[in-house]
Structure formats: C-alpha cells, structure tokens
Amino acid sequence: MTRTQMRSALGKAVGLGSARDGVENWLLERVSAVALIPLTLWFTVSTVMHAGDDYATVMAWLRRPVTTTLMALLLMALFHHTALGLQVIIEDYVHSRMKVLLLVGMRLGCLAMAVTGLVATLKIAFGA
C-alpha cells in the first residue's frame, strides 16, 4: 500500500493534508498497533505463566521456536511503534534545534534496542 492511495485525488489537487510523510506515519503506527495487540497479550500471559520459575524453565520456554518467532515479531513491532509514537511527541513539544538531534537519536536508539533484543533472542535460541 502506498501513501498516495490513502489520499483522495481532490485532496491532493487542492493541497489538503500532509505535505510529507504524515499519512505513512499515521498508517504504519496503526498497522504496528494492530500487530502489537496479540503480541503484547501473548507476552503478558506467557510471563505471568512463568512467574516464580527458575532460569532453566524460563530458558526452555525462550528456546521454543514459537517463542523465538513471536519474540522477534514483538521486538520489531514494539520498537517500530515506539519510534513512530515518540517521533510525533518530539515534533509536538520540541521546537528548538534539539528537535532534529532528539529525532535522530531516538530513531537510532529504537533501532539499536530492536537489534540488541533480536540478537539476544537468537543467541538464546541457537546459542550453546
């Protein structure tokens, strides 16, 4: 789906709506939100089910292929959604030169967190 399809021909002709990436940001925030509903509920229920369990039991759960898959999906959707949400908040409240620095730092931080989480998840799954 492209951002142009989300806007009417009349809206584009008279210059209404976002001039840049607003539509795409809006749409992706909602797509990631829909993905996060089952993923976060799965994670919450799973961690509650493992409350009080020892390291070996938790690792056995984390090593299951379905856990690895869902955890990877959770991390990607979570940090994508976080980056989009924090972007709008920074754009709304920060108007100084700090804005660009914060936006770039936040985006890189979210990417770094997602990759770190993925590497940890894969190390648990395939590590010795």
Partner 1 sequence: MPSTPTDRPRPLSPNIQIYRPQLTSVLSIANRMTGVALAAYAVALVAWLVSAAAGPAAYTTVQSLIGSWLGRLLLLGCTFCFFLHLCGGIRHLAWDAGYGFSLRAIYASGWTAVAMSMTLTALTWVVGIVLAGHGQ
Q: Quick count: other Cβ atoms within 10 Å of Cβ 10?
A: 8
- In the numeric block, the tokens 């993923």 are attached to 39
Taking CB under 8 A as the rule, does residue 65 contact partner 1? no
Q: How far apart are CA 21 and CA 31, in angstroms?
A: 15
Q: How far is the CB of 82 from partner 1 (least distance, A)?
A: 5
How far, in Å, CA of 127 to CA of 88, rounded? 38
The Cα 43–Cα 81 span in angstroms is 16
Residue 73, interface with partner 1 (CB under 8 A)? no
Binding of partner 1 by 67 (CB under 8 A): no
Contact footprint for partner 1 (CB under 8 A): 30, 33-34, 36-37, 40-41, 44, 48-49, 51-53, 55, 58-59, 62, 71, 75, 78-79, 82, 85-86, 89, 113, 116-117, 119-121, 123-124, 127
